[in-house]
Amino acid sequence: MVRASRSDLPLSTNVGFLVANAYHLPLASESVDHVVALGMLAYVTEPERVFLEFYRVLRGSGMVMVSNSVSREKAPVVRAASASGLRLTHESEGFCPAASGPIKRRYLCVFQRVA
């Protein structure tokens, strides 16, 4: 996914991609504006730790965008993000042909860092 996304970006973009352990991101505290986590929370056993790490690396009022199949419960994700100091600012759900399982829908949650 990262390789395909990089090939779609113009050469002068200021967007970067990082493949790393979500529990220990190799980034300085308050060093990024946005975190995008697409489908990764389905593979995380401690979402609270992941959201604390997202909070740590976000600058000021940075944002986290999380997307996952609706076959995965959304409430624990929202609770974990809220407990870390992130505030839910947007949520939606819609059709996604790539969603796992028989239900081809995904949810999207956007959280903002609360300073």
Give the whole-number percent of the chain exceeding pLDDT 70: 90
- pLDDT band with cut points at 50, 70 and 90 for residue 72: confident
The count of residues in the chain is 115
User: What angle (nearest 5°) sits at the alpha carbon of residue 111, between those of residues 107 and 114?
Assistant: 165
Cα dist. 98→30, 94, 101, 105 in Å? 33, 12, 9, 8
pLDDT tens digits, 7-54: 666 665 677 777 889 999 999 999 999 999 988 888 899 999 999 999
- What are the residues facing 92 on neighbouring strands? 108
Verdict on whether the full-model pTM lies above 0.75: yes
The rounded radius of gyration (Å) of the Cα atoms in the chain is 14
pLDDT, residue 98, reads 78
Across 76-89, average pLDDT:
96
